């Protein structure tokens, strides 16, 4: 379980938490939110210097590639989710 928590909270914090049913429930919700965030980020065009027909075609191709690959996570999503869920996971690990 620490391997799942480490990318979000770091080894120092995650290593001290006890894993129980409440923690698993919160982690499940947290991972679902991170997945939704990453799916949304797949649809965001990347910045470019010159916007023309070629740029638009490349962006659409790259968006389609990111959506179909599906096996990735964005660091920005991990940070946002960890910020929101750190206290909830910690309290759940303490049985609160």
pLDDT in tens, 19-72: 889 988 998 999 899 989 988 988 888 887 778 888 888 888 888 888 777 667
Number of domains in the chain: 1
pLDDT of residue 29: 93
Cα–Cα distance for residue pair 14/53, rounded to 1 Å = 47
Residue 21: which domain range? 2-93
Of 9-23, 52-66, 77-91, the least confident = 9-23
- pLDDT at residue 37 in the model: 92
pTM: 0.73
- Interatomic CA distance for residues 19 and 63, integer angstroms: 37
H or E element, residue 30: helix 21-42
CA gap 6, 35 in Å, rounded: 16
Q: What share of the chain is helix, strand, coil (3-state, %, to 5)?
A: 75, 0, 25
Residue-level pLDDT at 32: 92
């Amino acid at each position: 379980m620490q391997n799942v928590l480490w990318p979000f909270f770091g080894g120092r914090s995650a290593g001290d938490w006890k894993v129980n049913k409440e923690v698993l429930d919160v982690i499940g919700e947290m991972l679902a939110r991170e997945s939704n965030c990453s799916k949304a980020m797949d649809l965001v065009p990347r910045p470019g210097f010159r916007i023309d027909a070629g740029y638009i075609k490349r962006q659409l191709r790259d968006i389609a590639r990111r959506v179909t690959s599906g096996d990735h996570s964005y660091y920005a999503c991990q940070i946002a989710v960890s910020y929101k869920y750190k206290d909830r996971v910690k309290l759940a690990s303490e049985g609160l």
